[in-house]
Structure 1
């Protein structure tokens, strides 16, 4: 009776549920090398992008290209090295034979070690990409985000980590990880920048123009190509029946053939580049590329002083345009907006006065002339000074004033021409400017009104 009572009390104190067994991936994912690899990916990409942020911040296409370049040239070598280092872990610990006696199969053991590193690297890349997109969002100038390329890049980084894991398990040398990273950097850089054949499209890194966008299936084929090769390598190493590696290899070959066959057709010009957004309230009208339509109010404001002085003047170009190629006969090219980081930084004009001066110089139309007559040069200088003088004009004048006798005489002639134009009445000056712009493409003195 006493024995039965004691047994019953023991059964009452026992837990009705067995302890939960945690998945082996959890331990690999929350401890050890994998989180540090993800942090290294984030830090590498964030620092790289921050150093040159003025060259991409504000333009969605520029952000896509710079994140893509950093991910491929720095992220892929880092992923290869991290995967290789993780793959060599059991050899460094001397536990290879012990691992071989485990109940889990070779493929399961491989994935338990490789997947946490790959996922953490992708997470680190995702954090860096999200920060870059947020940095562009608050000063975006008009185009739209491009998400296909970042998603493909994330898959490529995961493939690089898995490939590095295979190499690490096969190569015992401790320097294999840094050498694999260096090899990846060199191959991607050479193929992406130097190679000009169709084979370069097999590389996940292709240096493209910011005015181009990939066809919708290009990221998918890139993932199929790199993912197929990686899956074939993993299965050839870890699967019981290594012949199954032929299936992803066939898929990779099909995707690679399509990429090579299509060649430069994988990219096409962004339709927004060919479309203009115009302010028709000014003369000339001001038109910018639809990719940067958010800049139009700033440009209109920067040129407002010049367009106000040109009100009522005839023989002017119809518009400032921002299309690829040379402007039409009744158009004049708008000062350059791209590349971002020069005249435009983080969605703002860096120097509105200099931009207005460049627009006034474009209006004169004598940029293709090798040489102009002195009287024409004096008239051009007077018009430039009246419409939108260069912020450096005072420095130029001071340099001429300290120059030779000929330079001092030329400066006096130019100052006199400026004063004569400024002293004219409104109607007289409007008539003179109309006659001047009628000959704006002339390099000689014939027809150019005197001052």
Structure 2
């Protein structure tokens, strides 16, 4: 053990990286993050914002506590081996020994996160319709994993308890999850925070990196430096970064207007999606074609389908929708969900929720939904019979009835239309 302590720094670091639990920790982190991303692959989206939000959610929120636990186990190695006094008698300073021993706790979790992150971003790259990844978020995540490993190492060196590692991982998971969903500015202090449909400015990643790295360096210096007062310097930097995040965290995220610009296809009806979802346009057009085929020749049928915007402010004959089912590799995660959403909007426009003083017509609405290919799981007998009668009508009479019904939907007054 003394010989190991006197070896050159590069050789010592190489030995530390090859042995211990570091490689196993990296493999576990990579496997857990990758498996969660694979299960939720259709929620990744073909845009950088959604993909990096999912990476942060599963990477930092799940992999971060594992980095803490791995670092804590590495930090308690001397206590478990009973080699504390032997290492203390070596020529190297306690801080130099701690830095060499901490290297696996810092680098291996970073590698465990980077592997699924690179694969995920690489899979999105050919299909992303707009922009580029936020490299500041990637930088912040890398610093976060290294800092969490160092924090765990410092805790493991201070606590001589074998159960400290799993307990610290559990505490870290609860803390990350709680602060991420907290109200107010506290949520920006967690490395798992992100803004919905927004991208951070470069200063956000830098401040988060200083905040996390400052805490880790402070913990290492406080536990192993001969002059522990120097730990106040990184602690001060961390406090300053945290105060700036709390004061201006909301202002450090920006909505990118160009990402919401409409990209439209040719033909009638016109189908438009956001620029960041441009690769999904053919798939959305295929779903719209199913609706349009059932409304062929119907007066008042929609002539435009647009992603985004409030349904309540949609112009006549325009359908608003959202890709709630997600998309991946230009394929819709749930095409049937989009089909149902479009059919319900055409058949009701959300009128029962906006106008309570005008009676609806469940039988007529169910008949229209059934003709558009959506069957309600629970329908009254009268509603089922109305749908059957509509299907049995001659084509001209069916188109005439659908035209009257669609006009009534525009005024949210379907109660005036008699069911088939």
TM bracket, shorter-chain basis: 0.7 to 0.9
Q: Partner of 1:329 in structure 2? A: 315
1:334, distance to aligned residue in structure 2 (A): 3.4
1:110, distance to aligned residue in structure 2 (A): 1.1
1:164, distance to aligned residue in structure 2 (A): 1.5
User: Are 1:304 and 2:289 matched, yes or no?
Assistant: yes
Q: Partner of 1:223 in structure 2? A: 209
1:364, distance to aligned residue in structure 2 (A): 3.4
Q: Partner of 1:349 in structure 2? A: 332
User: Are 1:75 and 2:60 matched, yes or no?
Assistant: no
Call closer, same or farther: CA 1:445–1:323 in 2, change over 3 Å.
Answer: closer
Output one character per residue of 1:102-129: Cα deviation in whole Å (capped at 9) or x when no partner. Answer: 2222221111110133111111111121
Q: Partner of 1:362 in structure 2? A: 345
Cα separation, 2, equivalents of 1:79 and 1:182: 11
Cα separation, 2, equivalents of 1:358 and 1:336: 8
1:183-222 matches, within 5 Å, as 183-193=171-181, 195-206=182-193, 208-209=195-196, 211-222=197-208
Cα separation, 1, equivalents of 2:105 and 2:415: 74
User: Are 1:62 and 2:50 matched, yes or no?
Assistant: yes
Tell me the SS of whatever aligns to 1:321.
Answer: strand
Q: Partner of 1:238 in structure 2? A: 224
1:412, distance to aligned residue in structure 2 (A): 4.5
Cα separation, 1, equivalents of 2:373 and 2:76: 66
Cα separation, 2, equivalents of 1:384 and 1:22: 70
CA contact (8 A) 2:408 2:414 kept: no
Cα separation, 2, equivalents of 1:241 and 1:351: 59
Aligned partner (choices 160, 174, 189) of residue 172 of structure 1: 160
TM-score (normalizing by structure 1):
0.79
Call closer, same or farther: CA 1:280–1:135 in 2, change over 3 Å.
Answer: closer
Tell me the SS of whatever aligns to 2:351.
Answer: coil
Call closer, same or farther: CA 1:100–1:382 in 2, change over 3 Å.
Answer: closer
Select between 321-330 and 122-131 the one with higher mean Cα deviation.
321-330
CA contact (8 A) 1:88 1:168 kept: yes
Aligned partner (choices 369, 373, 377) of residue 389 of structure 1: 373
Call closer, same or farther: CA 1:89–1:264 in 2, change over 3 Å.
Answer: same
Call closer, same or farther: CA 1:356–1:100 in 2, change over 3 Å.
Answer: closer
User: Are 1:102 and 2:90 matched, yes or no?
Assistant: yes
Q: Gaps spanning 5+ residues in structure 2: where?
A: 1-7
TM-score (normalizing by structure 2):
0.84
User: Are 1:267 and 2:267 matched, yes or no?
Assistant: no
Cα separation, 1, equivalents of 2:387 and 2:393: 10
CA contact (8 A) 2:43 2:333 kept: no
User: Are 1:42 and 2:39 matched, yes or no?
Assistant: no
Q: Partner of 1:31 in structure 2? A: 19
Q: Partner of 1:415 in structure 2? A: 388
Cα separation, 2, equivalents of 1:421 and 1:144: 53
Q: Partner of 1:438 in structure 2? A: 407
Report the aligned-residue RMSD.
3.3
Cα separation, 1, equivalents of 2:340 and 2:144: 46
CA contact (8 A) 1:54 1:345 kept: yes
Select between 81-90 and 412-421 the one with higher mean Cα deviation.
412-421
1:158, distance to aligned residue in structure 2 (A): 0.6
Q: Partner of 2:276 in structure 1? A: 291
Call closer, same or farther: CA 1:242–1:358 in 2, change over 3 Å.
Answer: closer
Q: Partner of 1:128 in structure 2? A: 116
Output one character per residue of 1:57-90: Cα deviation in whole Å (capped at 9) or x when no partner. Answer: 6453333122212222222222222222212212
Following TM superposition, the consecutive aligned residue runs of length 4 or more in structure 1 with deviations greater than 6 angstroms are: none
Call closer, same or farther: CA 1:172–1:300 in 2, change over 3 Å.
Answer: same
CA contact (8 A) 1:332 1:363 kept: no
Cα separation, 2, equivalents of 1:21 and 1:351: 54
